[in-house]
Amino acid sequence: MNKRFFERTYQLHEVTDYINWIYFFHAWGFSPRFASISKVHGCDVCKASWLNTFPEKEVNKATEAMQLYKEGGRMLQQLEQDYCTHSLVRLCEANSDGDDLLLDDVRLPLLRQQMQKEGESFLCLSDFVRPLSSGVKDTVGTFCSTVDDEMEHLYEKDDYKRMLVQTLCDRLAEATTEKVHEEVRRTLWGYASDEQLSIDDLLVEKFQGIRPAVGYPSLPDISVNFLLDKLLNYNSIGISLTENGMMKPHASVSGLMFAHPQSHYFSIGKIGLDQLQNYAQRRGMNISDVQKFLAANL
């Protein structure tokens, strides 16, 4: 086994502390402030005090949020009995070669910002990795995380419970990634071995480095999953890819990990026909196929 390849399986209680409840409540149509119920002690006095922080016109909505959080907690306890989450991480020898990343034996073409910005650089994720011309190897992490597939097929005749499970699964996949990324920084890669951050600090990304996910603004091409799959073997933890590069289970996340102290998130935004053609050539794909994956960037 590659000494820089790691597989993790977690019991649900090991990752629930890493759930970002803001996004759970967002999926149910609640504004972020209602997610603060997740930090309230479960006693009646504390819950009543929390409700009293809302204006009268929002008390009913806050009560609904409280009930949803309670039911979500109960569902997590039920799921805990039968299901787990999973993650793969591969720490690759890496260099940048222009706008490409060289990750072990895989070349990963990337996109660069192209829209005019006053006094700012046009960023590409490869900027955060030592160039091949330096003669010095760098490291980039690749990862994927998911839930047990069966979880997404529970309660198919109960719309409410099915949505409850799906929204919890989405959060569990992200929480699993948060937990394994912490382990990567502190021990597996160890570039931040002295890191001591609270969960709240983790969720607002106070750690060194970034973790851009496939399909997100700095890594918008979902077909990148086919290249990461070569490095990680998604199927070994139950992830399959559709012909369009979407992951199944739906509650799955994949991407890259960078350690550069100045690395930060950004959006590629709109690109021109020149970069589209160049990117398609570097990917070895037809322009028409690349256009489908990058429709939002054209």
Q: 249, 169 in Cβ contact below 8 A?
A: yes
> What's the mean pLDDT in 38-43?
89
Helix (DSSP H) and strand (DSSP E) numbers for the chain: 9, 8
Of residues 250, 175, 167, the one with CA closest to residue 211: 175
Q: Binning pLDDT at 50, 70 and 90, where does residue 117 land?
A: confident
Higher pLDDT, 130 or 117: 130
Q: List the Cα angle 178/235/124 in 5-degree steps.
A: 50
> What's the mean pLDDT in 225-240?
98
CA distances from 10 to 86, 132, 170 (A): 6, 37, 15
pLDDT of residue 2: 61
Domain count for the chain, please give it.
1
Classify residue 256 by burial, with Cβ atoms within 10 Å: 0-12, 13-18, 19+: buried
pLDDT of residue 258: 99
- Non-local CB neighbours of 165 within 8 Å, separated by 6+ positions: 75, 79, 151, 152, 154, 155
- Answer whether residue 64 shows pLDDT above 90: yes
Q: 95, 134 in Cβ contact below 8 A?
A: yes
- Answer whether residue 69 shows pLDDT above 50: yes
- pLDDT tens for each residue of 206-220: 999 999 999 999 999
> What's the mean pLDDT in 224-228?
98
Q: What is the CATH number of the domain that holds 166?
A: 3.10.196.10
- Non-local CB neighbours of 279 within 8 Å, separated by 6+ positions: 109, 111, 271, 290, 294
- Report how far residue 260's alpha carbon sits from residue 187's, in angstroms, rounded to the nearest whole number: 17
Residue-range definition of the domain harbouring residue 168: 5-297
Tokens of 62: 């806050």
pLDDT of residue 87: 99
Whether cis (ω within 30° of 0) applies to the bond prior to 249 is yes
Higher pLDDT, 3 or 228: 228
Give the count of beta carbons closer than 10 Å to the beta carbon of residue 270.
13
CA distances from 26 to 33, 34, 71, 249 (A): 10, 9, 16, 21
pLDDT of residue 3: 72
> What's the mean pLDDT in 226-234?
98
- pLDDT tens for each residue of 94-111: 999 999 999 999 999 999
Q: Binning pLDDT at 50, 70 and 90, where does residue 1 land?
A: very low
Mean of per-residue pLDDT scores for the chain: 96
> What's the mean pLDDT in 141-163?
97
pLDDT of residue 41: 86
